[in-house]
Amino acid sequence: MKTVGLIVEYNPFHNGHYYHIEAAKEATNADAVVCVMSGYFLQRGEPALLPRRNRTMMALQGGADLVVELPYIFSSQHASWFAQGAISILDHLGVDTICFGSEHGEITPFLKLVDFLETQNQPYNEYIKAFSKQGYSYPKAASLAFSKLEPDKDWPDLSQPNNILGYHYIRAVNDLNSSMTPATIKRAKAHYHDQQLSGYSIASATSIRRSLIEQHQSPDSIREAVPFSTYQSLSHFFKYEGSFYNWEQYFEFLQSKTLTLSSAFLSEIYEAEEGLHHRFQSMIKTHTTFHSFMEALKTKRYTWTRLQRFAVQVLTGTLKSEATEAIQSKHADHIRILGMNQTGQAYLNLIKKHMELPVFSTLPKHKTPQQQLDEKAAMAYYIPLTPEDRKIKWKQEYEQPPIILD
């Protein structure tokens, strides 16, 4: 059975994701689509709009055959660790091809770019350090460093978010000595950071989230940008929950936790670097919303995404020592199945006896270092709920089986 692997967040699943699945299957002649999906907290340091289970159902209804979880320690990280964790899972699942969406849209230039930066690793890192000392954020410093190397104009632009991820996916394939073949699909119409919904049926997830959260609009406002199954799921969730998960719901908990921890303890939280915890603690007491806090906190060096990632680590209470232990192997230490259809079940049965990593459907009693952090992330995600609702959700974390879509 030929497989194609996708690394996803589906926050939420929209028409562009449906296009990606269909295009990836066609380009690779795959019989099955295997998705590694982030759980409760995402790569840009955000809580997912909807719980993991809702998004798994969207994925299966949208064409995925098997959905597994990207552990928290990788899902809430910068591009290189995010890629390392996801690629390691696809590799252990025996996936043939990794297919990612990109602004560039051609794989050969990516391969040339990776080879080029391998040979230019030392000057590239030196340029990054030099630009970082000038006060630039890491992404901006890396982009400026890349330009200093005078790359071929036909190579992918590493200031573009999906090109950056694609580059790191290929790097991870090489680092892990994986036999997977990289492939890419050009992103259709909407760009990753587009803030406004366009008139097209494909819109960015950013614009969809902005409509639902910042503009407080109902799912009817994004009806044309998502498959009908996603629209139904969003509408049902909105009807019964009243809103989607977002940072404003967590702010009072983040504020309370930050102000009641000692500065010394806060410095031990993962991602606390260069005195960031001091700035975080001194400024959070004067704000009443997460958005106003972030606006005041961000600088040329500290990007919004960088700050959100630290906020996630504070919320979950993830210590540097815990994170170091969880990622010391540089790959996932387990595979958790979130959902599958009959094709996905057939593929899983085919490869199970050859898999080296343990496979789980729920959190076990005796947890690996990565599962311990997954548990903390699940606990933190449901903090805004009432005590009774939290109790139900936390119990489901240990008892609810994967989704089986007939």
User: What CA–CA distance (Å, rounded) separates 123 from 149?
Assistant: 8
- Give the rounded distance of the alpha carbon of 133 from its chain centre: 28
State the amino acid at position 303 in one-letter form: T
- φ, ψ (nearest 5 deg) of residue 404: -115, 110
Helix, strand, coil share of the chain (percent; to 5):
55, 10, 35
Binding site annotation covers 92? Answer: no
- Give the rounded distance of the alpha carbon of 63 from its chain centre: 19
Binding site annotation covers 246? Answer: no
Residue 318: how many other CB atoms lie within 10 Å:
24
Binding site annotation covers 13? Answer: yes
Binding site annotation covers 162? Answer: yes
- φ, ψ (nearest 5 deg) of residue 42: -110, 175
Binding site annotation covers 359? Answer: no
Binding site annotation covers 358? Answer: no
Binding site annotation covers 101? Answer: yes
User: What CA–CA distance (Å, rounded) separates 82 from 180?
Assistant: 17
Binding site annotation covers 10? Answer: yes
- φ, ψ (nearest 5 deg) of residue 7: -110, 120
**∠ CA 251-392-370 to the nearest 5 degrees?**
70
Binding site annotation covers 156? Answer: no
**∠ CA 313-131-293 to the nearest 5 degrees?**
35
Binding site annotation covers 191? Answer: no
User: What CA–CA distance (Å, rounded) separates 82 from 71?
Assistant: 10
The crossing angle, in degrees rounded to 10, of helices 290-297 and 304-316 is: 130
DSSP string over 338-392: EEEEHHHHHHHHHHGGG--S-EESS--SS--HHHHHHHHHHHHHTTTS-HHHHHH
Answer whether 8's CB lies under 8 Å from 62's CB: no
Answer whether 201's CB lies under 8 Å from 228's CB: no
Binding site annotation covers 341? Answer: no
Binding site annotation covers 8? Answer: yes
Binding site annotation covers 15? Answer: yes
User: What CA–CA distance (Å, rounded) separates 267 from 276?
Assistant: 8
Binding site annotation covers 29? Answer: no
- φ, ψ (nearest 5 deg) of residue 135: 100, 5
Binding site annotation covers 14? Answer: yes
3-state class of 35 per DSSP?
A: strand
Which residue ranges are tagged as binding site for ATP?
7-20, 101, 162, 187
Which residue ranges are tagged as binding site?
7-20, 101, 162, 187
